[in-house]
């Protein structure tokens, strides 16, 4: 039996650490040729060192995927290297500081929406053109249980992940007859460094009353590799009839 993603070409955003890093390594170990983008060049360099030691087909590109020029640069670099694209994983994301709408400033709203919703839109728009020309392609967007429920984060993050899920399902439906699948992973709590994007100084007492109480129901925190295995399934032919779907991976947290 060959590797699950043998010779498939994938772009994974926000893959310098956490879930994206785990996905990049797992995809490459399963035979994929992976382009990794991230804002942090130091993390990309660390990932490349590990990939070299394992002999994996992986290249990196420092980029802000909410900027169309950076999107095109990453895609063109991928095409120059491997002449095609088969899989797009939008993993890059940031948190807000749990502010409800009455306490939310424009700067936070704009930045969270830019990274969590606008960036995937831009990469999807570019990737779909390639997929349409070849008659197939896979898009995987990493959202959150915060995109399914309303009390897991602040107004900006919640809105951005709801938007991403809606965008993903619409895309999967609209292009279903064109050989393109678009699905969503909605993780629960995962052991990543996304907390680095939280402005803890801006957190207000309302978070303890309305949001933090729900954390007591969380059975455990996942490791990035557990979410990467979900992405591998969705990227593979094993998920050939899974489209416009949201796969929740939260250990049962949202079942209550």
So which residues are the catalytic ones?
A: 157
CA 15 – CA 36 distance, rounded (Å): 6
Burial of 225 (0-12, 13-18, 19+ CB in 10 A): middle
**Closest among 224, 228, 214, 226 to 149, alpha carbons compared:** 214
Q: What are the distances in angstroms from CA 83 to CA 15, 77, 88? A: 21, 9, 15
**How far is 244 from 110, CA to CA, in rounded Å?**
26
- Let me know how many helices (H) and strands (E) the chain has, helices first: 8, 7
């Amino acid at each position: 039996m060959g590797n699950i993603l043998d010779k498939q070409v994938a772009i994974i955003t926000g893959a310098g650490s956490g879930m994206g890093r785990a996905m990049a390594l797992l995809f490459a170990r399963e035979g994929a040729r992976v382009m990794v983008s991230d804002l942090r060049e130091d993390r990309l360099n660390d990932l490349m060192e590990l990939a070299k030691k394992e002999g994996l087909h992986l290249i990196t590109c420092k980029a802000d995927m909410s900027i169309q020029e950076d999107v095109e640069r990453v895609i063109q670099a991928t095409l120059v290297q491997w002449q095609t694209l088969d899989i797009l994983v939008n993993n890059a994301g940031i948190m807000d500081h749990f502010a409800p709408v009455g306490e939310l400033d424009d700067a936070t709203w704009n930045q969270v929406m830019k990274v969590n919703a606008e960036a995937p839109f831009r990469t999807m728009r570019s990737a779909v053109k390639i997929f349409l020309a070849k008659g197939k392609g896979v898009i995987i967007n990493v959202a959150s249980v915060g995109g399914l429920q309303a009390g897991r984060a602040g107004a900006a993050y919640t809105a951005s992940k709801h938007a991403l899920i809606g965008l993903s399902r619409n895309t999967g439906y609209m292009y279903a007859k064109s050989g393109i699948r678009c699905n969503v992973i909605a993780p629960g709590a995962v052991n990543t460094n996304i907390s680095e994007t939280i402005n803890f100084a801006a957190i207000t007492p309302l978070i303890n009353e309305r949001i933090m109480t729900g954390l007591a129901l969380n059975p455990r925190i996942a490791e990035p590799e557990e979410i990467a295995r979900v992405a591998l399934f969705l990227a593979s032919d094993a998920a050939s009839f899974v489209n416009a779907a949201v796969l929740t991976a939260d250990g049962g947290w949202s079942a209550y």
